[in-house]
Amino acid sequence: MGEEIMDRAAAGRFVEAWCANWCRVDIDAVVAHFADNAEMRSPLALKLTDAPVVTRAKNIRAYWREAYGSIASADLKILNWSWDETIARLTVWWQLGDTRASEFMDFDGAGRVVRSEAFYGK
Protein backbone atom coordinates (compact mmCIF):
# COMPACT_ATOMS: atom_id res chain seq x y z
CA MET A 1 0.00 0.00 0.00
CA GLY A 2 2.88 2.39 0.68
CA GLU A 3 3.51 2.99 -3.04
CA GLU A 4 -0.05 3.73 -4.12
CA ILE A 5 -1.01 7.09 -5.60
CA MET A 6 -3.65 8.41 -3.26
CA ASP A 7 -7.11 9.13 -4.58
CA ARG A 8 -10.47 8.67 -2.84
CA ALA A 9 -10.59 4.90 -3.49
CA ALA A 10 -7.01 4.44 -2.22
CA ALA A 11 -7.84 6.58 0.82
CA GLY A 12 -10.77 4.26 1.60
CA ARG A 13 -8.50 1.21 1.38
CA PHE A 14 -5.96 3.01 3.59
CA VAL A 15 -8.63 3.71 6.25
CA GLU A 16 -9.65 0.03 6.30
CA ALA A 17 -6.03 -1.16 6.63
CA TRP A 18 -5.16 1.54 9.17
CA CYS A 19 -8.14 0.58 11.36
CA ALA A 20 -7.40 -3.16 11.07
CA ASN A 21 -3.74 -2.58 11.96
CA TRP A 22 -4.65 -0.51 15.02
CA CYS A 23 -7.25 -3.09 16.10
CA ARG A 24 -4.45 -5.69 16.10
CA VAL A 25 -2.08 -3.09 17.60
CA ASP A 26 0.30 -3.95 14.76
CA ILE A 27 2.52 -0.92 15.17
CA ASP A 28 5.00 -2.03 12.50
CA ALA A 29 2.17 -2.27 9.96
CA VAL A 30 0.86 1.19 10.89
CA VAL A 31 4.32 2.77 10.64
CA ALA A 32 4.99 1.00 7.32
CA HIS A 33 2.63 3.57 5.77
CA PHE A 34 4.81 6.45 6.98
CA ALA A 35 7.62 8.12 5.05
CA ASP A 36 11.01 7.92 6.79
CA ASN A 37 10.98 11.67 7.47
CA ALA A 38 7.35 11.78 8.71
CA GLU A 39 6.20 13.75 11.72
CA MET A 40 3.37 13.00 14.10
CA ARG A 41 1.80 15.48 16.51
CA SER A 42 -0.34 14.39 19.44
CA PRO A 43 -1.30 15.60 22.93
CA LEU A 44 -0.40 12.10 24.16
CA ALA A 45 3.11 12.53 22.75
CA LEU A 46 3.44 15.69 24.84
CA LYS A 47 2.52 13.70 27.98
CA LEU A 48 4.93 10.84 27.26
CA THR A 49 7.87 12.62 25.65
CA ASP A 50 7.61 16.25 26.82
CA ALA A 51 7.29 17.27 23.16
CA PRO A 52 4.10 17.36 21.08
CA VAL A 53 5.84 16.28 17.86
CA VAL A 54 7.60 12.99 17.13
CA THR A 55 9.75 13.08 14.00
CA ARG A 56 11.03 10.26 11.77
CA ALA A 57 9.26 6.92 11.30
CA LYS A 58 11.69 5.03 13.56
CA ASN A 59 10.95 7.41 16.46
CA ILE A 60 7.19 7.26 15.80
CA ARG A 61 7.44 3.44 15.96
CA ALA A 62 9.35 3.61 19.26
CA TYR A 63 6.86 6.11 20.71
CA TRP A 64 3.84 3.98 19.73
CA ARG A 65 5.50 0.86 21.12
CA GLU A 66 5.95 2.65 24.44
CA ALA A 67 2.44 4.10 24.43
CA TYR A 68 0.52 1.06 23.14
CA GLY A 69 2.88 -1.94 23.13
CA SER A 70 1.30 -3.51 26.21
CA ILE A 71 -2.14 -3.68 24.55
CA ALA A 72 -2.92 -6.87 22.62
CA SER A 73 -5.91 -5.53 20.68
CA ALA A 74 -8.13 -2.47 20.45
CA ASP A 75 -11.77 -2.08 19.46
CA LEU A 76 -11.17 0.97 17.26
CA LYS A 77 -14.24 2.15 15.36
CA ILE A 78 -14.13 4.46 12.36
CA LEU A 79 -16.91 7.03 12.69
CA ASN A 80 -16.25 8.79 9.40
CA TRP A 81 -13.47 9.88 7.08
CA SER A 82 -12.89 12.41 4.32
CA TRP A 83 -10.30 12.76 1.57
CA ASP A 84 -9.16 16.16 0.26
CA GLU A 85 -7.44 15.37 -3.03
CA THR A 86 -6.28 18.97 -3.54
CA ILE A 87 -3.93 18.86 -0.55
CA ALA A 88 -3.65 15.04 -0.24
CA ARG A 89 -5.11 15.04 3.26
CA LEU A 90 -7.08 12.24 4.87
CA THR A 91 -9.11 13.06 7.96
CA VAL A 92 -10.40 10.17 10.07
CA TRP A 93 -12.86 10.43 12.95
CA TRP A 94 -12.58 7.43 15.25
CA GLN A 95 -13.61 6.16 18.67
CA LEU A 96 -11.91 3.81 21.10
CA GLY A 97 -13.92 3.22 24.27
CA ASP A 98 -14.88 6.65 25.63
CA THR A 99 -12.19 8.40 23.60
CA ARG A 100 -13.21 10.15 20.40
CA ALA A 101 -10.63 11.67 18.10
CA SER A 102 -10.06 13.16 14.72
CA GLU A 103 -6.78 12.62 13.00
CA PHE A 104 -5.47 14.03 9.77
CA MET A 105 -2.74 12.53 7.65
CA ASP A 106 -0.97 14.28 4.78
CA PHE A 107 0.42 12.08 2.00
CA ASP A 108 3.32 12.41 -0.41
CA GLY A 109 3.17 11.49 -4.10
CA ALA A 110 4.07 7.87 -3.31
CA GLY A 111 1.08 7.44 -0.98
CA ARG A 112 3.07 7.58 2.26
CA VAL A 113 2.10 9.60 5.33
CA VAL A 114 4.44 12.57 5.79
CA ARG A 115 2.55 14.28 8.62
CA SER A 116 -0.22 13.32 11.00
CA GLU A 117 -1.92 15.08 13.86
CA ALA A 118 -4.48 13.77 16.34
CA PHE A 119 -7.11 15.77 18.22
CA TYR A 120 -8.90 14.16 21.17
CA GLY A 121 -12.31 14.86 22.69
CA LYS A 122 -15.13 13.19 24.57
The answer as to whether 3 is a domain residue is no
Report pTM. 0.90
- Number of domains, the chain: 1
Q: How many CA atoms lie within 13 A of 12 on its CB side?
A: 2
Q: Tell me how far apart the alpha carbons of residues 79 and 73 are, in angstroms, rounded to a whole number.
A: 19
The answer as to whether 76 is a domain residue is yes
Alpha-carbon separation of residue 49 from 26, 40, 53, 55, 100 (angstroms): 21, 12, 9, 12, 22
The answer as to whether 70 is a domain residue is yes
Q: Which domain holds residue 69?
A: 8-121
Q: What is the pLDDT of residue 2?
A: 47
CATH number at residue 77: 3.10.450.50
Digit-coded pLDDT (tens) for 1-43: 445 678 999 999 999 999 999 999 999 999 999 999 999 999 8
Q: Tell me how far apart the alpha carbons of residues 90 and 105 are, in angstroms, rounded to a whole number.
A: 5
Q: What is the pLDDT of residue 3?
A: 58
Digit-coded pLDDT (tens) for 56-100: 999 999 999 988 888 888 999 999 999 999 999 999 999 999 999
The answer as to whether 14 is a domain residue is yes
Q: Tell me how far apart the alpha carbons of residues 90 and 116 are, in angstroms, rounded to a whole number.
A: 9
